[in-house]
Amino acid sequence: MVIIESYPLAVALCLVTMLCWGSWANTQKLAGKEWRFQLFYWDYAIGVLLLSLIMAFTAGSYGIYGRPFLADLTQASASAIGFALLGGVIFNLSNILFVAAIDIAGMAVAFPIAVGLALIIGVITNYISRPEGNPVLLFLGLLGVVIAILLDAAAYKRLSADRKETSKGVCISIVSGIAMGFFYRFVVKAMVVNFAHPAQGLMTPYTAVVFFSVGLLLSNFVFNSIVMAKPFTGKPVSYRDYFKGNPGLHLIGILGGVIWNTGMSTSIIASGAAGPAISYGLGQGATMVAALWGVFIWREFQKAPKGTNRLLTLMFLSFIIGLGLIIAARLA
């Protein structure tokens, strides 16, 4: 299978993760307002699984190192499979709640609470599990990214000053952030440490991502079905509504899943050389990528009050400093 041993190349893959995780939601916007998120999300989940299988039968099956996908699949222990499936279930819950929190409380509430909690919890738990890198630089970099997320929230809040923070939205954001902070850890727990010479029972990153994706899709029949019948906002939608969608809408949703799981796959593959804490921490900088889309493509801040550009400048500066410190943590 294809593995990454070079730290600079691992960092480059983490930047791909950041780009993908910060960009996939654009496909939801492309699907249009008439195509509800719950319907879009079914195609998204299918796209996640499709990409994992493509990666498993290509990069996960060729090369002189590691175990090919099918051989790895047959030797995986029940506990390893269970951890990867659980990671998919936890992520799916967090992602659905995250979008619901944005609908209810707005980005000014959802982003700093959910993504901030996920970033802090994810880096800490993954570092405790595999303490790789200079902890001072790593956590200073983490602080820089958290400050950037808070500045991003402050900028969005200036766009929607009349939006009230509801207790429901805050609670959903907290639950989403906690879940999002733990899902990566379970996927890593299902994986071997040495990708080139994998131990028995545990899985290679490609196989782990496949089971993660299966867990996401299967749990969708529970979580998304509930949100379809009892949405946090708007009217209920049915499975019949899903099948009324045209092929273009379904392809856009599948593309969204492919983009997100490209980021997940590169992050997991990079974790061998970079360490899970650094790999996850860099990936969660996706918030800044999403902000870049909002500023330069969707023009969300075109009518923002005076002083918003200063917040955005400080946000990007804080993010770049934090990113640099996280990268340097592995070199120190």
User: Binning pLDDT at 50, 70 and 90, where does residue 331 land?
Assistant: confident
Give the pair of three-digit tokens for residue 287. Answer: 């918030």
Cα dihedral across residues 10, 295, 310, 116: positive or negative: negative
d(CA 12, CA 6): 10
* Vertex 260 angle, CA 267 and 44, to 5°: 145
**DSSP type of residue 197:** S
The whole-number pLDDT of residue 163 equals 53
d(CA 45, CA 122): 22
d(CA 237, CA 42): 13
d(CA 91, CA 179): 7
d(CA 260, CA 223): 19
Q: Contact 162/108 with Cβ under 8 angstroms?
A: no
Exposure b/e, 68-86, CB count within 10 A at least 16 = b: bbeebbeebeeebbebbbb
Question: For 109, how many CA atoms within 13 A lie in the half-sphere containing its CB?
Answer: 27
d(CA 122, CA 119): 5
The whole-number pLDDT of residue 89 equals 98
| Segment 170-214, tens digit of pLDDT | 788 889 999 999 999 999 999 999 999 999 999 999 999 999 999
How many other C-beta atoms lie within 10 A of the C-beta of residue 242?
A: 20
d(CA 185, CA 91): 11
The whole-number pLDDT of residue 164 equals 54
The whole-number pLDDT of residue 108 equals 61
Torsion of CA 318, 322, 325, 330, to 10 degrees: -170
pTM comes to 0.90
User: Binning pLDDT at 50, 70 and 90, where does residue 145 land?
Assistant: confident
**Is the confidence at residue 42, as pLDDT, over 70?**
yes
The whole-number pLDDT of residue 205 equals 97
Closest CA to 43 of 229, 212, 232, 259: 259
d(CA 49, CA 216): 8
d(CA 244, CA 17): 33
Q: For 42-55, what is the mean pLDDT?
A: 98
